[in-house]
Every structure is written in structure tokens, then in C-alpha cells.
Amino acid sequence: MKIGLISLAVLAGTGSILADTDPYNPVGTLQVSPKTVQTGVHTNLSWDVEYPSAVLDIVDINDDDSITTKIETRLQLRVIGASWSTRTTFYTVNAYARISGSSWRQVFYGKEYDINPLYLPINRIVSPGSRIDVAARGHLGRSNWTQWYWTLENHQNVVALVNGDPVPTIDKAHAIQEDVETYLANYVDDDGNISIGPHDVIYLFDFNSYGSSGFDLQDFVCLLTFTPTEYVVD
């Protein structure tokens, strides 16, 4: 059976071969007994392969689209979209996240062209049972903002998706924008499904009323990556 490419390292004197601890590759052991045999004598091989975990083995996505961790993991959050706009102008987006009911931490404040997808506003170890919430809102001009949309309640303005989920088929609201599938082209496969890492969750936010002409689920987009700490090297 084909199980993918595994880099192997021989541990001298143990008779075992261990796979690299890359979270995206199968890992396991290969036992050889006896380690030394004469010509024409067969050795016995046994192996134990552990296949990579999917994100839903690491976290639960709750009914309100908040996330609860199942194991200790490193959480990395990056912003990849903030297309809150009128027909011709992008407006400011303000976004926060929090872990286990702690203080909210700002993860983005700016417009679409202010995004640095390499920047990690959150990059830390979280314990099992930690709840992760995300919140965002859009500027309306002067001192006015939309309401907050967040994972503290179950509504259709916040959507959490994992690898393989179908992309919502919603057209762009304004000419300055693109439809969701085009906007997320780097994260969508040829079949129109989300294509992200096996340990990732992507959030899509919209700041307009659900079903309105402006509703397009691209006003704020962020990607959360969960890496089990057994694979983390500081």
C-alpha cells in the first residue's frame, strides 16, 4: 500500500527505524529482527505507522463556529483578506481574537492593502480545552462602525471551513471585489473546495445583513493553523 514519502533515520544499535516528526507525513517504526543474519536467511520485519491527524482530530468546531482544542497545540493566526469596501474604496477592518475567555487581542486594524500574510499576530501554545473566538467589524466612515460579528453567537455572517469543504457560492458585492472563489483562489482547488493545510481552519466574515446585496463573505478572512506540540521545535 502506498503511504507517501517518509524520510527515515536509522538509530544505531536499536534495530528500529523512525520516521521524521513532520506533522504532514506518516510517522512510525520499522522493527528488524534479528538485526544480523547469514546469507539465505530471512529477517522478520514489523512496522507501526501512524497517519497524520486532520484538524478535527486536534480541535472541535462548535455550533457557533468557535473552536475548542482537544490537545495541546501551537496556534498560529494570520490575516489573508479584508475586502470590506464600497463600490470603489476599501474601508478599515478591526479584528480581534481571544483564547479561553482571556482579554481580546487585536489581530488586525487596517485595509485590504495593509495585510501582511506572513505576520502572525497570534503564535503561541494553547492547552487542551481552550476555546478560541474571533471577532471583526468594519468602519462606516467618521466614527461609525458596523456591529461586531463574532463566534460568540451562531449566525451566518461568520463561517469556519476546513480542508475539503465547499466554498460558498456567493457573488462579489462590488466591482472593486472578486467573488469568494476567485478571492480565495490560492485556497481553493479545481473542484471549488477549500484547499488548505490539514491542520488549518479558515474564517470568512461579512459585515452586511445576511442575504443583502452586499453579503459576500469576504469582508474579513483569517487562517488559523493548529500544530500538535509533539511536532513543535522552538
pLDDT tens-digit readout, 55-78: 999 999 999 999 999 999 999 999
Higher pLDDT, 183 or 127: 127
- Type of residue numbered 114: D
Between CA 178 and CA 195 the distance in angstroms is 18
pLDDT for the residue numbered 8: 27
pLDDT for the residue numbered 28: 56
Higher pLDDT, 3 or 132: 132
Between CA 204 and CA 222 the distance in angstroms is 7
pLDDT (average), residues 153-181: 74
CA angle, residues 83, 222, 111, in degrees to nearest 5 = 35
pLDDT band at 178 (very low <50, low <70, confident <90, very high): low
pLDDT (average), residues 138-155: 92
Mean of all residue pLDDT scores within the chain: 80
Paired with 67 in beta bridges are 61, 132
- Type of residue numbered 169: T
Higher pLDDT, 19 or 217: 217
DSSP letter for 87, please: S
Higher pLDDT, 212 or 156: 156
* Count of all residues that appear for the chain in the document: 234
| 8-22, 53-67, 167-181, 191-205: segment of lowest average pLDDT | 8-22
Per-residue pLDDT tens over the stretch 6-57: 222 323 333 333 334 444 555 556 666 666 656 666 666 665 555 457 999 9
Tell me the pTM: 0.76
For 137, half-sphere exposure in the C-beta direction (CA atoms, 13 angstrom radius) is 11
| CA-only gyration radius of the chain, Å | 22
pLDDT for the residue numbered 5: 29
| 4-8, 88-92, 183-187: segment of lowest average pLDDT | 4-8
pLDDT (average), residues 193-208: 94
